[in-house]
């Protein structure tokens, strides 16, 4: 196994975990709203989903940022060059904005269509950052 193959496996796993949690949370919000009776119960479930998704996303993004540079080196890893770090930073920023900014306001004012649109837009932006990161890393994996 070459060094390039081994060096991209951990970032690929982190990006995959991030994409998985972002996908589950995007699907969980409408499913929970449609199936769970009572707004207080819905908010409790959505807060749990949002908290887990946010912390997994932040941990994956910080891990990707830490792995992007070789130890005691000024150069980035081959897989970290280009726009991938912008996607990772966009993921961190959108996760924090979603969990600590827009999402609590939407839970407090559930009837607000503007808040619903903001939550949806940020969730989709966050999912897109995760997918673009995963897709960019996949290009650096050798084809089997």
Domain count, the chain: 1
pLDDT digits (tens, 9 = 90+) for 70-125: 766 666 677 777 778 888 999 999 999 988 988 888 888 776 778 888 888 899 99
For 31, the token pair is 């499913």
144 is a domain residue: no
CA torsion, ordered 104, 17, 137, 140, to nearest 10 deg: 180
143 is a domain residue: no
Q: Compute the half-sphere exposure of residue 45: CA atoms within 13 Å on the CB side of its CA.
A: 16
42 is a domain residue: yes
pLDDT for position 92: 92
| Full domain range(s) for residue 18 | 3-138
CATH number of the domain enclosing 37: 1.20.120
70 is a domain residue: yes
129 is a domain residue: yes
- Helix, strand, coil: what percent of the chain each, to 5? 80, 0, 20
Summary mean pLDDT of the chain: 84
Q: Compute the half-sphere exposure of residue 43: CA atoms within 13 Å on the CB side of its CA.
A: 11
Over 50: is that where the pLDDT of 2 sits? no
Strands (E), the chain: none
Strand, helix or coil for residue 116: helix
């Amino acid at each position: 196994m070459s060094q390039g193959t081994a060096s991209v496996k951990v970032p690929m796993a982190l990006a995959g975990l991030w994409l998985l949690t972002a996908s589950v949370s995007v699907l969980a919000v409408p499913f929970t709203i449609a199936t769970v009776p009572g707004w207080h119960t819905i908010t409790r479930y959505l807060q749990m989903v949002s908290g887990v998704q946010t912390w997994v996303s932040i941990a994956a993004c910080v891990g990707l940022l830490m792995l992007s540079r070789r130890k005691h080196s000024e150069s980035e890893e081959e897989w970290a060059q280009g726009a991938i770090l912008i996607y990772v930073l966009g993921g961190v920023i959108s996760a924090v904005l979603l969990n600590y900014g827009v999402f609590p306001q939407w839970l407090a004012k559930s009837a607000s269509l503007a808040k619903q649109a903001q939550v949806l837009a940020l969730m989709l932006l966050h999912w897109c950052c995760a997918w673009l990161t995963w897709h960019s890393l996949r290009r650096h994996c050798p084809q089997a």
